[in-house]
Amino acid sequence: MNPTRRTLLALPLALLLGGCSTRRSRRRRRSGGGSVSGGGTPSAATLRLNPKYRESSVALALMQTGTPYRYGGASPATGFDCSGLVYYVYGQLLGSSERARLPRSAAQWAAASRAVPSGQMRRGDLVFFNTSRRTRYSHVGIYLGDGQFVHAPSTGKRVRKNSLSERYYKQHFLGARSIFAD
Among 148, 152, 155, 157, which residue's Cα sits nearest to residue 140? 152
- Active-site residue identified among 10, 49, 82, 112: 82
- Active-site residue identified among 70, 104, 139, 177: 139
- Active-site residue identified among 151, 173, 174, 176: 151
Tell me, yes or no, if 82 is annotated catalytic.
Answer: yes
Tell me, yes or no, if 151 is annotated catalytic.
Answer: yes
3-state DSSP of the chain: CCHHHHHHHHHHHHHHHCCCCCCCCCCCCCCCCCCECCCCCECCCCCCECCCHHHHHHHHHHHCCCCEECCCCEECCCEECHHHHHHHHHHHHCCHHHHCCCCCCHHHHHHCCEEECHHHCCCCCEEEECCCCCCCCCEEEEEEECCEEEECCCCCCECEEEECCCHHHHHHEEEEEECECC
What letter represents residue 146's amino acid?
D
- In this structure, the chain runs to a length of 182
Query: Which residue numbers are catalytic?
Result: 82, 139, 151
